[in-house]
A = this chain, B = another copy of it.
């Protein structure tokens, strides 16, 4: 790519004569963000000055104070909503080895899954049973599983264009693998990391113990580790794996959602909610998950203020606590909303990373979902110049999902998904992996939708 004269064909005029007020306003929103955006600097602070922010950690407390401070400079009101959160800590010890019957010892990269118990001191050791889904467990039964380590190795499906769909098809191994295998006497579980790439990074994430089921240790193994273990098992099914982890669950702690409003001029008591989650896993810096969504949400309010747009509805930024291993913040917000009868015109969530925007997905109870999509489709031409082509039914978000039963239209921000799981819940989810322009385009995209929602409302939902 080099030649100037032919490249001129690509030139897009910054302003077109005769464009509508809405076109002009969207252009202003993008211009402002792409030249004077603050979300990248906010993300730098959140990732580099604070770092990882798992619920219950010092980082999470600092993040709450940081969110309150940043939003206090923008919003009319900022308050902290109390929420009790789990407090799980990884501990210093976290190792695994493949021990071959001939004496060969091969270390592999693992990490404990959130809420996992640790092993006994000195670790545990057992033969390994490789499976490709939790449905195999019952068939294998106690005679095959007792005293063994269950190795869940179903990979993410690469043929799915949306990597979130591929994640959905695998993540039950991580979230319920331990409690599925424990009743049959399994010693521990190793789960292939939710990662489409082959690399050495283990990806953590929550796992949930079922009530009255023995709590056995649960860890993620890197995709390279999983490939190696599978290969070694084919060579010798009698190999053993040794795992030692010192993670543990501490008593729940008090934490907070950060809630900030710019009061609406016409409907001060009706909210357009924009949210992301402030907590992150303890590996990496939670840059894409969900530092990006947090700074996106803050930036929407900032852009309204900077551009002097007085909203008709109250714009409410919610920085949720404890999405990762809760989501207690979301439950708490929805509870208070129900109790106090808060009315939400819509709730928008950004929790799919800071990648180039592709559009929005629409969620909620069926009528609401249908109606909201129809209304927003009217704005397709306004959104098109910014690459916001994806307007379809789909998942809104974990945190806003708890508002579904209050008949709130739920909208998920949809950035490009291809690289998301390269970093998800792993040590490489760091600030450097977020591209400034891609992040800013996300903030401007969400702000544009909020501008249109605020201006036109969602009339078909009123019927």
Contacts and interface: CB of A to CB of B under 8 A. Distances in A.
Given A167-B1, A424-B1, A161 B418 contact: no
A42 interface: no
A394 B168 contact: no
Contact of A387 (B35, B169, B358): B358
Nearest to A164: B10
A356 interface: yes
A394 B9 contact: yes
A10 B416 contact: no
Given A159-B14, A398-B1, A7 B356 contact: no
Given A9-B363, A11-B165, A164-B1, A436 B197 contact: yes
A386 interface: yes
Nearest to A363: B9
A175 B385 contact: no
B395 A14 contact: no
A158 to B, nearest CB: 5
B168 A11 contact: yes
A142 interface: no
A4 B171 contact: yes
Interface of A: 1-4, 6-12, 14, 30-31, 34-35, 157-165, 167-169, 171-172, 175, 196-197, 205-206, 289, 323-324, 327, 351-352, 356, 358, 363, 385-387, 389-390, 394-395, 398, 401, 416, 418-419, 422, 424, 435-438, 441
Given A161-B387, A422-B435, 12 more contacts: A2-B205, A2-B398, A4-B175, A7-B164, A7-B171, A31-B159, A34-B158, A389-B389, A389-B390, A418-B437, A419-B437, A419-B438
Given A1-B424, A159-B34, A418 B395 contact: no
Nearest to A160: B12
